[in-house]
Structure 1
Amino acid sequence: MGESSSSSRFKYDVFLSFRGEDTRNKFMSHLHGALKRKKVMTFTDYKLIRGCEISSSLLKAIEESKILVVIFSKNYASSRWCLEELVKILECKEMYGQIVIPIFYEVTPSDVRNQTGAFGDAFAELQLRFQDNPDKLQRWTASLTKIANLSGWTLGSFR
């Protein structure tokens, strides 16, 4: 039952979590293209059915993916959607044992872990918008710290 039941529950090989304005036409598009050429079934927000509720579609795709790749960039933490995805990604890692790979694009693991630098500035703006929801802010902060402690890749800006 083990392998066949777990492999049948996955619709995608890889789920890519990223902040569109920072990486969509840069690193993320190159990574997505390389995965596609290798015939790796990858979910990005390009596959969302227009008109569907974004959050439920994304959360379902996270659950249905074997590998969860989070591309951190300078403005990743300015998006509540990105941070909600991150919380779900770490929940799925714990519940289903999915592989989570953080990629630090033009930010460092320390920036993400401690919410410093440009990454921290973006998160500070979001904190102001959600200051009336300390539980949500605490979940996001804990998730950022937890994922930054995972082994991943740090990349500068290059092709």
Structure 2
Amino acid sequence: MTEPGSSRSRPKGAYDVVLSFRGKDTRKNFTDHLYTALVQAGIHTFRDDNELPRGEEISKHLVKAIQESKISIVVFSKGYASSRWCLNELVQILECKNRNTNQIVLPIFCDIDPSDVRKQTGSFAKAFDKHEEQFKEKAKEWRKALEEAGNLSGWNLNEMANGYAFSFYGSLVGINLKSFIINPRLVNL
């Protein structure tokens, strides 16, 4: 199946990139611009647009997208840790990365310091105060995932001037992602 805007063929449902983000924080601004830049570059990108009711279990469709993707981009924001859905999604992403050495996780820190993610301080500490009351064991798993993700090399948008956000999208898409995505027509040559 050929995706709109892409000349590459791929099996139906296989994604190059999965975007993980807290919709309430970044859906209508940063993540929307990033998604548009990826799609315009011909990169088959999954984002959860369904606004499904958030429970503890992530959807089978999302799990499949994560498992089959080459890259997961995790957009951390101030409210990310308050969402059990986002935290469960992050655990799934890192489990796939750790099982499949070819899968890449790229964190983007949007209005949050990477150390807040890594150490669960600031708004992340407040979220975990609530989580640990109800989900003691699960909170340990989430903390471990946040620490691992916070230690990955990524981008801290707080260190970029607002005028450079659009050039960031272009550099992320043009340089970093395309080098990781293999054109299926080149395989078996």
TM range (shorter): 0.7 to 0.9
Q: Which amino acid aligns with 1:41?
A: H
Cα distance in 2 for residues equivalent to 1:104 and 1:127: 24
Query: What amino acid does structure 1 have at the position aligned with 2:128?
Result: F
How far does the alpha carbon of each residue in 1:24-54 deviate from its partner, in whole angstroms, 9 at most, with x for none? 00110010010011011000002x5989x95
Q: Number of matched residues?
A: 148
Contact 1:77 1:126 in 2 (8 A): no
Distance 1:145 1:13 in 2: 25
Cα distance in 2, alignment partners of residues 67 and 58 from structure 1? 14
| Larger-gyration structure (1/2) | 2
2:149 partner letter:
I
Which residue is 2:133 aligned to?
128
- Per the normalisation by structure 1, the TM-score is 0.84
Q: Which has the higher strand share?
A: 1
TM-score using structure 2 length: 0.71
Unaligned stretches of 5+ residues in structure 2: 1-9, 166-189
Q: Which runs of 5+ in 1 are unaligned?
A: 1-6
Greater share of helix: 1
Give the CA RMSD over aligned residues.
2.4
1:113 matched to 2:113? The reply is no
Classify the secondary structure of the residue corresponding to 2:144: helix
Q: Does 1:43 align with 2:43?
A: no
In structure 2, what is the Cα distance between the partners aligned to 1:105 and 1:96? 27
CA, structure 1 residues 150+50, in 2 after alignment: closer, same or farther (shift >3 Å)? closer
- Match of residue 64, structure 1, among 40, 49, 68: 68
Percent of aligned pairs with the same amino acid: 52
